[in-house]
Amino acid sequence: MSAPLRPDLALIARTVTVGARVLDVGCGEGALMAALRDAKQVDARGLEIDGGNVASAVGRGLSVVQGDADIDLAYYPDQSFDYAILSQTLQTTRRPDRVVEELLRIGKQAFVSFPNFAHWRGRLSLMWGGRMPVTRLLPDTWYDTLNIHHVTVDDFRALVKERGWAIDGQWFLKGDKETTHANANLFAEHAVFLLRK
Amino acid sequence: MATIPPHEDSRFGLRRQVRLTGPLRLDSGAMLGPVDIAYETYGAMNADRSNAILICHALTMDQYVASEHPVTGKPGWWWRLVGEGKPIDPARHFIVCANVIGSCLGSSGPASIDPATGEPYAMRFPVITIADMVRAQAMLLDHLGVDRLAAVIGGSMGGMQALTWPTLFPDRVESCIVIASTARHSAQNIAFHEVGRQAIMADPNWRGGDYYADGVTPGAGLAVARMAAHITYLSEAGLTEKFGRRLQGRNAKTFGFDADFQVESYLRHQGLSFVERFDANSYLYITRAMDYYDIAEDHGGSLARAFTASRARFCLVSFDTDWLYPTAESRVIVHALHASGAKASFVELSSPFGHDAFLLECPELNRVVDGFLKGGRA
């Protein structure tokens, strides 16, 4: 019925438990929500900033609300979901730290996935080219990217430590393959963390 | 009674009217009875009675949601959304649309005969609320044998009724679609309505509402009320695009008070044609019902509390150029639904048409409504 899930979403979809209550923040057209609903009977709700995406998601029968993660998460009650999911959206928010705090308030656990800005390709681009990296995961030029808070795996780990959050799981991706934890900050293109407060 | 084929059952079909004994206890404390309800049904109830959709109409609309209007000859007011191959489809759904009480197209209202006097109620008709309209609809559904609604849907004042439904009858509503609407009437909303009411009551032909005997109606007042209201249904950009400062059938300003501008001529036409199809007293009563509307107020000031007993799915739609019931009003509802744990969808659609957008061409609206309704079947 639909295209295969993006690798980080596929990984999250594998990990979510059957019948869970899930809030997908930045759900786009609802690909993950639909997969979770169909494969795992998940009660999925979505929050999405783009009206066209929301219309598509609602048009496929999903419960999606148009809103802004920086503002509208405040209106969800405490611990009302088993999982709050923020995939590829962290780096676009105005205050990523507060958004993760909100995810952990709303969800018992939170998935956070983001492109790793410290991947070696990006480093090379900066070091040798002296230019902001434009790669597969970061395809936009510096002036039209939605990513306003670039983050590395080590940056994120430092934030987790500083706030005293617990890491229940972490996965690293190179293309659509999982890669090792060792030197993830250098070799992972993409990171997925499962957090708990 | 479920065994009677719909085409042989006089309760079903177009241009129906029923007199229910009642009495209906109104929010004001008054009793209304008998209760006349004019309505239409489209399609047939399925075997397990799970396909009923109630459509609630806006202030000046009526039961003719998808059939020709008997006075104006225009197609049903929501033909874009309701009909064969449309998101609400008589081939799949059993569709009910009833004229609200207080109105003037066959349901009990100020123009109806007061059984106590044998004369039209006029201003002796009890003041009604949105909740009273909904309770009357519930009486009709009882009469039709509809226990549960797969969906209740409405735009503008219809959205107010739709949103009220799960608060009054949480067990009867499976899903609820609220378009270009609000959970309460704002000071600005009330203010515009008051202008309209004062225009009617200032018309010397209004005579305290007792104008039915000689048929000389407060048409001028009602037309002005309609003109003022009509402005609130359109967007500033829409008016500019449609009329700008263009003159009406002349090359220069006349230095007089004729309708020099196209926009003046348009509004006058809107006012005059409205008078032919609507009763001034009904306009007073229905606008009053809307002004009294505040769902949170009825639930100890908490909108979220209104929905805690409901298990319905909700879909809210606003339009970016609607300044009568702007997107912020829909967001208030969405936040309350989140707080109550209800399943909610919400989207702000883009349209140049202002509040009227819910009645006009909007493929996105059809896509959202269709998907939402089908989502319930998954």
Q: What structural domains and CATH numbers belong to chain B?
A: 6-185+295-375 (3.40.50.1820), 189-288 (1.10.1740.110)
Total domain count for chain A? Answer: 1
Asked if pLDDT for residue A48 goes beyond 90, the answer is yes
Phi, psi of B119 (to 5 degrees): -110, 160
Report ipTM (2 d.p.): 0.89
Mean pLDDT of A94-100: 96
CATH of the domain at A134: 3.40.50.150
Residue A92: inside a domain: yes
Domain extent, residue A62, equals 7-196
Mean pLDDT of A155-173: 97
Mean pLDDT of B348-361: 95
The full 3-state SS of chain B, as one line of letters, equals: CCCCCHHHCCCCCCCEEEEECCCEECCCCCEECCEEEEEEEECCCCCCCCCEEEEECCCCCCCCCCCCCCCCCCCCCCCCCECCCCCECCCCCEEEEECCCCCCCCCCCCCCEECCCCEECHHHCCCCCHHHHHHHHHHHHHHHCCCCECEEEEECHHHHHHHHHHHHCCCCECEEEEECCCCECCHHHHHHHHHHHHHHHHCCCCHHHCCCCCCCCCHHHHHHHHHHHHHHHCCHHHHHHHCCCCECCCCCCCCCCCCCEHHHHHHHHHHHHHHHHCCHHHHHHHHHHHHHCECCHHHCCCHHHHCCCCCCEEEEEEECCCCCCCHHHHHHHHHHHHHHCCEEEEEEECCCCHHHHHHCCCHHHHHHHHHHHHHCCC
Residues in chain A whose beta carbon is closer than 8 A to a beta carbon of chain B?
Answer: 37, 43, 45, 51, 54-67, 72, 75-77, 80
Candidate from A43, A51, A75 with C-beta closest to B348: A51
Asked if pLDDT for residue B4 goes beyond 60, the answer is no
- C-beta atoms of B378 and A76 within 8 A: no
Residues 174-233, chain B, touching A (beta carbon < 8 A): none
Mean residue pLDDT of chain B comes to 95
Mean pLDDT of A4-17: 92
- Closest Cα in chain A to B375: A61
Residue A186: inside a domain: yes
User: A4 to chain B, minimum CA–CA distance in Å?
Assistant: 20
Identify all chain B residues contacting A37, using CB atoms and an 8 Å cutoff. 378
Q: What does the pLDDT look like over A71-82, one tens digit per residue?
A: 999 999 999 999
Residue A108: inside a domain: yes
What pTM did the predictor assign? 0.94
Q: What does the pLDDT look like over A106-115, one tens digit per residue?
A: 999 999 999 9
Q: Is the Cβ–Cβ distance between B346 and A66 less than 8 Å?
A: yes
- C-beta atoms of B344 and A65 within 8 A: yes
SS3 A181: coil
Q: What does the pLDDT look like over B201-214, one tens digit per residue?
A: 999 999 999 999 99
Residue A175: inside a domain: yes
- List A115's β-bridge partners, or say none: A190
Residue A1: inside a domain: no
- Which of the four pLDDT bands, split at 50, 70 and 90, describes residue A2? low
Q: Is the Cβ–Cβ distance between A181 and A172 less than 8 Å?
A: yes
Active-site amino acid positions of B: 156, 322, 355
Q: What is the pLDDT of residue B47?
A: 94
Residue A2: inside a domain: no
Continuous segment of H or E residues that includes residue A84: strand A81-87
- Which of the four pLDDT bands, split at 50, 70 and 90, describes residue B378? very low
Candidate from A57, A60, A63 with C-beta closest to B344: A63
Q: What does the pLDDT look like over B215-250, one tens digit per residue?
A: 899 999 999 999 999 999 999 999 999 999 999 999
Q: What does the pLDDT look like over B90-129, one tens digit per residue?
A: 999 999 999 999 999 999 999 999 999 999 999 999 999 9
Residue A58: inside a domain: yes
Q: What is the pLDDT of residue B5?
A: 58
Within 8 A by CB and 6+ apart from A10, the residues are A4
Most A CBs within 10 A among B319, B347, B348, B373, hence the mutation to make, goes to B347
Mean pLDDT of A166-172: 96
- Which of the four pLDDT bands, split at 50, 70 and 90, describes residue A4? confident
Mean pLDDT of B78-89: 97
User: B120 to chain A, minimum CA–CA distance in Å?
Assistant: 47
Residue A38: inside a domain: yes
Residue among B306, B309, B320 nearest B354 (CA):
B320
Most B CBs within 10 A among A24, A37, A56, A75, hence the mutation to make, goes to A75
